[in-house]
Structure 1
Amino acid sequence: MDLTRTDIYLDGAWVAASSGQTLAVRNPATEEIVATVPAGTAADVDRAVAAARAAFPGWADTAPAERAAALDRLHAALTARAHTVANTVATELGTPLKIAVRVQAGLPLTVLRSYVDLAAEPPAEESVGNSLVVREPVGVVGAITPWNYPLHQVVAKLAPALAAGCTVVLKPSELTPLTAYLLVDAIHEAGFPPGVVNLVPGTGPEVGEAIAAHPDVDMVSFTGSTATGRRISHLAADRIARVALELGGKSANVILDDADLATAVKVGVGNAFLNSGQTCTAWTRMLVHRDRYDEALALAAKVAEGYRLGDPFDPATRLGPVVSAAQRDRIAGHVARGLADGGRLVAGGPDAPLPERGYFVAPTVIADVDPDSALAQEEVFGPVLAVIPVDDEDAAVAVANNSRYGLAGAVWSGDQERALRVARRLRTGAVDINGAPFNPLAPFGGYKQSGLGRELGRYGLDEYLQTKAIQR
């Protein structure tokens, strides 16, 4: 099935891109090209930003209830496409379909629904002495999004920006652009005013940099690698533009000596391998008390061996491919270095059997990892778990915080208060205690080199608002 798209979306219409060049989209499970999309240019970004700038005053002045109604129509249009979204993500990213239905299609709908409700509430005003303090939309937003959650990461930026009264220029990842097209189809059906949302697919060096450096883009919201986030920050800083960055992670899963070990290990391995390990919040470092270390390794190996690789559309598949050949090779390099640095292979690894075609990586567990080694410090972004023994609670906290990242983490203990005490000591933006569920209304973002700002819920909406004091 050819999923090719031929146009970009500007000022409320599908139009031709400035160049006739295209980008190929591959199915990572088969290595076949399944579609092409236009390769946008800086000229296309200029057109998109001009449309967003022209649309901004009218959208900013639209009553909150009307903006909420438009988002509600978008929710309905996207819900009608949920099955197509899941199938598209399974095709262009390789997420197993049953996971794509629940996470790749389901979670963004939950997030979008939350902003339907939040958009209906006018931003709070307050009096401070003789000043009236008001909140206003920041302006034109450039949203640059990654490939690993191609709908969720867009909705987490687009929905609060629109709820706040901002207009948007969107650049999806060139590896997974097809899902963004489905979203913009839904936006068009929902009847947003022309120019409120604009789509320019393309590469980071061409389209992403043009957005980040554009003088008429008031804010850049980026999710991706820390290295690219650094570049985005520099481009925006040259014109003193606001940035929101959700970057890399190397999250620690702290399993204390009084934890339910079987559950902690099973859930921990599952978290590390979700979406083939291509999750910024993945708990890729498992820290286990030395007294229970050998038992934890045996459990982790058994759990990892139960992850069947294969066709994302096969209901028996638990682990799909990674997104590209380059990603597969990069992960293999991390595994090789981890073993060369003294790690001990417990499951998977370079000699594990793989499907004949596709960019597959075996679910891999490596024990005895040095906390200062590359495997414990670098973001692998694949199904690779590093297991590290620790002697006590203080050592676990020290190892967990021994990272330039600080995005997420977990603590397991039979004593809830003890787990909470340890969670408070972790220098990271989110911590799950004993497998607590993800909360799409809670603030999401990182400490240190994991980023700036927060997404989701009221905290995500606040990122797209400016504060003004009016003296009376």
Structure 2
Amino acid sequence: MIEKREFYIDGRWTAPAIPEDLEVIDPSTEEPFAVISLAGQADVDAAVAAARRAFDSWAFSTRAERKELVENILAIYERRAEDIAHAISREMGAPIDMARGQQVPAGSWHIRNFLTAFENFEFERPLGPHAPEDRILLDPVGVCGLITPWNWPMNQIALKVVPALLTGCSMVLKPSEIAPLSAMIFAEIVHEAGAPAGVFNLVNGDGPGAGTQISGHPDIDMISFTGSTRAGIAISKNAADTLKRVHLELGGKGANIIFADADENAVKRGTLHCMNNTGQSCNAPTRMLVQREIYDEAVEIAARTAQSVKVGPASEPGRHIGPVVSQAQFDKIQRLIQIGIDEGARLVAGGPGRPEGFNRGWFVRPTVFADVNNQMTIAREEIFGPVLSIIPFEDEEEAIAIANDTPYGLTNYVQSRDGARRNRVARRLRSGMVEMNGKSRAAGSPFGGVKASGNGREGGVWGLEEFLEVKAVSGWAPDAD
């Protein structure tokens, strides 16, 4: 049993004030393999106090100091990539090759992209030629509470910790208690990189405990949270009394609009994208909208593709999907699959229960429903598992109406050879992101949504700006610097 009960506070590993053990479960075996401690109010207070003390000096650190720290973090992160991959694989069930090839590189990708964005980022800007004695200063927002999820641990930690460091903020990170070990390795990396004591702090804990204490803490100036919409609403309410800034990256129910003129790989590509990370991605294209002319063929391709997706333990090498992260997630997915059947959707692949050959572990059958309408539960709720719903549409107008008829607005997808159509549809989709014809968004592109998918943006210059306050100054002496 791995024992990781300590928290990283004020530059050192610290025992909890009142130990409260929690077992970390391997989702492939359902067996505990590590133990952490959950933070109480005294631990959170100590971490916040350390961050508050450190802020006054770190806020006025030089660009060179911040850049050097993040560059050190990147170098050590890459050196410890294998440690991080094994931690992620075991704690949240990502197959080891997927952990090495996608999960770990997501973190280093964002660190590099932030360093690029930081290179020419201006913290002092003129208002305009009409006002030579006015300046706009971008100041660090202050002490930040960073609450990250279990599904892409390093992706989300990098998207929050790195821009906070580069903008001069201090912070308290609370990773998911389901997948905490990779975050603790990240804390070791930050320590080795030379972060000043108190600038970065880590406490483990659950949402109702440490999460609530952080989001309502009077000495925290900003919350950046990634997770479920339900939790995001609770955090916003709890944070309201202290008027702190709240950045939310929440759930999604992405529509993948496949027109009749889409390329021949569009359906297969969309199905595999939905199943990636065992469907545990907020931006997964879980609603496949298919134009009627190619609908029957698309259903066959999606079913065949899902049936070809292998399922296996996270520890085994290979191109397969692993288990979902927990018993709670498994039970939720099973319930929603059954609801899909009960509400009349046509099951064409997968279905309830574990895949053949599995009697332990939270493994889910890759599942495809056809003949779904947008009022069914499986088209409305975020399932967060390898479950695809296929919905027919007649024309462009109907496709846009179905795509936008959702509480969510994170990522939508468009597949068509007609460039003018793609552009028209992208403009009308109510979402923070649109990806078309299988082309990923480029480095520095902002990530975030609208409606129940949250607010604010992560990544690139937008991600830096999230951690800054705008200060307007008049009477500036232009030649005095």
Q: Is the 8 A contact 1:420 1:433 kept in 2?
A: no
Which residue identity lines up with residue 346 of structure 2 in the other structure? R
**1:214, distance to aligned residue in structure 2 (A):** 0.3
Q: C-alpha separation between the residues in 1 aligned to 2:329 and 2:47?
A: 31
1:85 is paired with a residue whose SS is: helix
Pairwise CA distance, 1:353? 2.2
1:239 deviation in Å? 1.3
- CA distances 1:142-176 after superposition (whole Å, capped 9, x unpaired): 00111101111111011111110000100000100
What residue in structure 2 maps to residue 110 of structure 1?
109
- One-letter amino acid of the structure 1 residue matched with residue 99 of structure 2: A
In 2, Cα distance between the equivalents of 1:20 and 1:209? 18
Equivalent position of 1:376 in the other structure: 379
Tell me how far apart the structure 2 counterparts of residues 374 and 440 of structure 1 sit (CA, whole Å).
35
**Contact 1:147–1:172 under 8 Å retained in 2:** yes
Partner residue in 1 for 2:225: 222
Cα deviation, 1:355-384, whole Å, max 9, x if unaligned, reads 222001100000111111111010000000
The reply to whether residue 311 of structure 1 matches residue 313 of structure 2 is yes
Write the mapping of 1:179-218 to structure 2, written as runs, cut at 5 A.
179-218=182-221
Q: Which amino acid in 2 is paired with 1:17? A: P
Q: Which runs of 4+ in 1 moved over 3 A?
A: 117-122
Instruction: Check 1:139–1:34 CA distance in 2 against 1; reply closer, same or farther (3 A cut).
Output: same
Determine which of 299, 302, 308 is the counterpart of 2:301: 299
Mean alpha-carbon deviation: is it higher for 116-125 or for 78-87? 116-125
Q: How many positions carry a matched residue from both structures?
A: 470
Aligned to 2:478: none
Distance 1:469 1:354 in 2: 64
Deviations 1:93-131 (A, max 9, x none): 111112111221001101011223334444242135242
1:74 maps to a residue whose letter is: I
Counterpart for residue 386 of structure 1: 389
Residue in 2 that maps onto 1:73: 72
Matched, 1:453 2:477: no
Alignment of 1:134 with 2:137, yes or no, is: yes
**Structural mapping, 1:89-100, within 5 Å:** 89-100=88-99
For the residues of structure 2 that align with 1:364 and 1:124, how far apart are their CA atoms? 52
User: Which residue matches 2:367?
Assistant: 364
Q: Scaled by the length of structure 1, what TM-score is found? A: 0.98
Give the secondary-structure state (helix, strand or coil) at the position aligned to 2:59. helix
Secondary structure in structure 1 of the residue aligned to 2:159: helix
How far apart, CA to CA, are the structure 1 residues paired with 2:138 and 2:391? 47
Task: Work out whether 1:237 is the aligned partner of 2:237.
Answer: no
Structure 1 distance, partners of 2:27, 2:204, is: 19
1: CA distance, partners of 2:25 / 2:348: 32
Task: Report the counterpart of residue 419 of structure 1 in structure 2.
Answer: 422
Residues 20 and 417 of structure 1, relative CA distance in 2, 3 Å threshold: same
Map 1:275-294 to 2 at 5 A.
275-294=277-296
- 2:323 paired with 1:324: no
- Counterpart CA distance in 2 for 1:68 and 1:173 is 27
Three-state SS of the structure 1 residue aligned to 2:153 is coil
Deviation at residue 298 of structure 1 after TM alignment: 0.5
The equivalent residue for 2:444 is 441
Q: Measure the CA separation in 2 of the matches of 1:127 and 1:418.
A: 39
Q: Name structure 2 gaps, 5 residues minimum.
A: 476-481
Partners in 1 of 2:308 and 2:72 — Cα distance?
42
Residue ranges of structure 1 left out of the alignment (5+ in a row): none
Which secondary structure state, in structure 1, belongs to the residue aligned with residue 270 of structure 2?
Answer: helix
1:123 corresponds in structure 2 to 123
Distance 1:127 1:431 in 2: 32
Report SS of the residue matched to 2:135: strand
State the distance in 2 between where 1:143 and 1:119 align: 20
Alignment partners' CA distance in 1, 2:116 and 2:416: 36
* Cα distance, 1:320–1:438 mapped onto 2, change above 3 Å: farther
Tell me the SS of whatever aligns to 1:405.
coil
Q: Deviations over 1:242-276 (max 9, x none)?
A: 0100001000000011111x411111011111110
Does the 8 A contact of 2:114 with 2:444 survive in 1? no
TM-score, normalised by the number of residues in structure 2: 0.96
8 Å Cα contact 1:28-1:94 kept in structure 2: yes
Letter of the structure 2 residue corresponding to residue 125 of structure 1: R
Report Cα offsets for 1:271-325 as digits up to 9, x if no partner: 1111100000000000001111110010001110111111123233511000001
What SS does the aligned partner of 1:243 have?
strand
Letter in 1 for 2:126: E
Partner Cα distance (1:62, 1:117) in 2: 19
The answer on whether the counterparts of 2:97 and 2:319 sit within 8 Å (CA) in structure 1 is no
What residue is the counterpart of 1:178 in the other structure? 181
Counterpart of 1:323 in structure 2: which amino acid?
A: V
